[in-house]
Amino acid sequence: MIKMKDVHKKYKNGVSALNGIDIHIEKGEFVYIVGPSGAGKSTFIKLIYREEKASKGSVVINDIDLGTLKEKEVPLLRRDVGVIFQDFRLLNKLTVYENIAYALEVIEESPKHIRTRVMEVLDLVGLKHKARFLPDELSGGEQQRVAIARAIVNNPIIVIADEPTGNLDPDTSWDIMQTFEEINTRGTTIIMATHSKELVNTIKKRVIAIEGGVIVRDEDRGEYGYEA
């Protein structure tokens, strides 16, 4: 599903963010990525959806070798990989419904399918009744639910989340985690970078710790392992 072999990433300014990552993540896993700031977590995540390219080594996502993937083929990869960010990144002039529908319109799905599927994912995240709202009429937790709905509307095989609860209060964070668990139960692989000691130590999953651009720990049902 996700295979990295001796992956290095050196940015143009000379910073080596990743220094030899070897990893294998199977379909349906739920994985936390932890580690101090600047460890390379975001870079690791960006390699999976080809926001950044590895400088060395191989990254294979769902049998797609990202090393040889052409720019014009990147949208194909993005159908398999949904992405969620700390700051939601919704389009503020579009309604909740339109934010999600947009992801299907760009791949030219039929209007009928779009309508059914958007309402389906809004139902899954509990926001059907807010389809006509604008993002700034919603709470932070609701906005993140919209971002989750948008990320899963294409039925991706993998969902990647970079600090998805970083801007949310603890109660809202638990709700968001339940949504991720629900998506994972349906078979989607989840990779989540987080600084939340409480979430990691309570909702036990595989934990991959990165420090200085290398994996220093990889445990099933692991602990956060750092001070909060």
Nearer to ligand ADP, 86 or 99 (CB): 86
The Cα 156–Cα 137 span in angstroms is 28
The Cα 165–Cα 162 span in angstroms is 9
* Shortest Å distance, C-beta 59 to ligand ADP: 15
Q: Which stretch binds ligand ADP (CB under 6 A): 36-44, 83-91, 92-100, 114-122?
A: 36-44
Among 31, 35, 84, 165, binds ligand ADP (CB under 6 A): 35
41 scored as a contact of ligand ADP (CB under 6 A): yes
Nearest to 92 by CA among 54, 138, 128, 52: 138
Phi, psi (rounded to 5 degrees) for 94: -100, 150
Nearer to ligand ADP, 34 or 147 (CB): 34
Name which of residues 42 to 61 contact ligand ADP (CB under 6 A): 42-43
What separation in angstroms does the CA of 12 have from each of 9, 53, 140, 150, 227?
Answer: 10, 12, 34, 32, 32
- First-to-final CA distance of the chain: 31
Contact of 172 with 141, CB cutoff 8 Å: yes
Name which of residues 1 to 20 contact ligand ADP (CB under 6 A): 11, 13, 15, 17
82 scored as a contact of ligand ADP (CB under 6 A): no
Among 4, 25, 39, 191, binds ligand ADP (CB under 6 A): 39
Nearer to ligand ADP, 98 or 218 (CB): 218
Contact residues for ligand ADP, defined by CB under 6 A: 11, 13, 15, 17, 35, 37-43
